[in-house]
């Protein structure tokens, strides 16, 4: 038994990916293995925010898996779980556009999520 208390992390997300998370169709979030995410674990909550807006969406973290790079992550997790609207190669291009090769070299995190609740949405 642990004394660890679940935390709430706030992370920015592009609108197109936010919409997929809010709809419950994106179940794997991809992030670089930055030091500030090293202790992210199952049971934590992520509050995704569209940068510059009040739109947020809470998800529960089910699992965090580490991969050496984005290609291995897509192969291991399945592209449809990362973005059900784009083919694998397009996803790889998109992810590498967001995160350059120097960031990918840090490693990749696949964060399995499930929709918790939507906090605020602008219509």
Task: Name the residue with tokens 């992810």.
Answer: 95
pLDDT over 90, % of the chain:
86
Domain limits, the chain: 8-117
52-95: pLDDT as tens digits: 899 999 999 999 999 999 999 999 999 999 999 999 999 999 99
Contact 21, 121 (CB under 8 A): no
Beta strands in the chain (DSSP E): 8-12, 28-32, 45-49, 56-67, 108-120
Q: pTM score, two decimals?
A: 0.90
Instruction: Decide which of 2.30.130.30, 3.50.50.60, 1.10.3720.10, 3.30.565.10 is the CATH code for 8-117.
Output: 2.30.130.30
pLDDT given for residue 51 in this prediction? 87
- Mean pLDDT, residues 15-26: 96
- The residues, ordered by sequence, that sit 6+ positions from 38 with a Cβ below 8 Å of its Cβ are none
Instruction: Please say if the pLDDT value at position 117 is more than 50.
Output: yes
Average pLDDT value for the chain? 92
């Amino acid at each position: 038994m642990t004394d660890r208390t679940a935390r709430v992390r706030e992370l920015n997300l592009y609108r197109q990916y936010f919409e997929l998370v809010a709809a419950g169709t994106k179940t794997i979030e991809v992030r670089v293995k930055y030091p500030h995410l090293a202790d992210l674990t199952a049971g934590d909550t992520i509050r995704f925010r569209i940068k510059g807006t009040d739109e947020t969406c809470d998800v529960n973290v089910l699992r965090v898996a580490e991969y050496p790079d984005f290609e291995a992550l897509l192969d291991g997790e399945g592209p449809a779980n990362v973005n059900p609207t784009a083919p694998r190669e397009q996803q790889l291009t998109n992810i590498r556009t967001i995160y350059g090769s120097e960031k990918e070299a840090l490693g990749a995190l696949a964060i399995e999520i499930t929709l918790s609740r939507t906090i605020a949405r602008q219509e």
